[in-house]
Structure 1
């Protein structure tokens, strides 16, 4: 079993099932005791903003705010630097506990042995 799971979610409201699946996998892993790093890229970048996740609706899916809380309790949420810049999002805008970082940090997280990475 991996000691750490890195999940990179690229979808948001534009692909709700894929988006929800990424957040669900990350939250279940975190709740199971796995260290999780959830990366928000592309359209999922908007979920780094306070209350944006509450706007997301998908029938029969766990609420996004609850999934994010679960991930934050057992891991870290990161917003892609370039994705934030393209959307005019700054560190002052994001939810508490969300960091903004780039590809170098992502690569450093996925390279150690025992780390598994998923991209949605």
Structure 2
């Protein structure tokens, strides 16, 4: 489990996209990419399509209006050690990422904005 100070939030634009993706794909989860495929971007997957393991930490279970279940946000423990003093905000911007995240066909991509806690 993450530190009690771990804070992850979403912008209104990201929440809207999450609602749309949830309607099509069912329950969702995020894993913060550590640099492979799409730089260092939050990747969105249907629950069960990305397997977390002992080297991952769950930072949050996000409650998003209009989504019936929490959306879990995961990151590798090693990466969390580097980011542990930040607040993370999931946002969405125009453009296509090069990864396998669900939003790629929509012409937008999720992005993390980090601020010192």
- Alignment TM-score > 0.5, same fold: no
Task: Choose between structure 1 and 2: higher helix proportion.
Answer: 1
* Bigger relative contact order, structure 1 or 2 (CA pairs below 8 A, ≥6 apart): 1
More strand per residue: 2
User: Given the two structures, how large is their TM-score scaled by the length of structure 1?
Assistant: 0.29
Give the TM-score of the pair, scaled to structure 2: 0.30
